[in-house]
Amino acid sequence: MSRERPAPDEAETQRLDSWLWCARFARSRSDCARIAQAGLVRINRQRTEKAHALVRPGDVLTLPPPTGEGVMVLRIVALAQRRGSAPVARLLYEVVPERALSPAE
């Protein structure tokens, strides 16, 4: 029996709900799925309603912050294999400052 390796695309991507959960944007993965399914998340300026949408390092996400006020724009820096502590989760993304956004973003 041979073990198949995942395709390169699969190895470099992660489900949106899983990534949001690992990055600690909600307490449970099902809450992250609800955020995505409600259409509150944009991946590279494209609105998505799918929790299973794939994200990769370099993607820009627009979503409501955990406080629920305003909009948060962040760039994915890394994918996660599991959920870690808050300081570790913070290493998965960088917040994009408003002045760095072009009108198209």
CB 27 within 8 A of CB 66: no
Within-domain flag for 1: no
State the residue range of the domain holding 45. Answer: 8-98
pLDDT value at 11 more than 90: no
Within-domain flag for 60: yes
Number of domains in the chain: 1
Q: What is the mean pLDDT of residues 20-46?
A: 95
Within-domain flag for 88: yes
Within-domain flag for 94: yes
Within-domain flag for 39: yes
Within-domain flag for 3: no
User: Could you tell me the CATH number of the domain that includes residue 49?
Assistant: 3.10.290.10
Kindly report the backbone phi and psi dihedral angles of residue 84, in degrees, each rounded to the nearest multiple of 5, phi listed first.
-115, -165
Residue-wise burial string across 9-28, b where 16 or more C-beta atoms lie within 10 A, e elsewhere: eeeebbbbbbbbbbbbbbee
Within-domain flag for 80: yes
CB 57 within 8 A of CB 78: yes
The structure's pTM equals 0.82
Instruction: Give which of 83, 58, 62, 91 is closest to 74, Cα–Cα.
Output: 62
- Residue 5: per-residue pLDDT: 46
> For residue range 75-94, what is the model confidence (pLDDT) as tens digits?
999 999 999 999 999 999 99
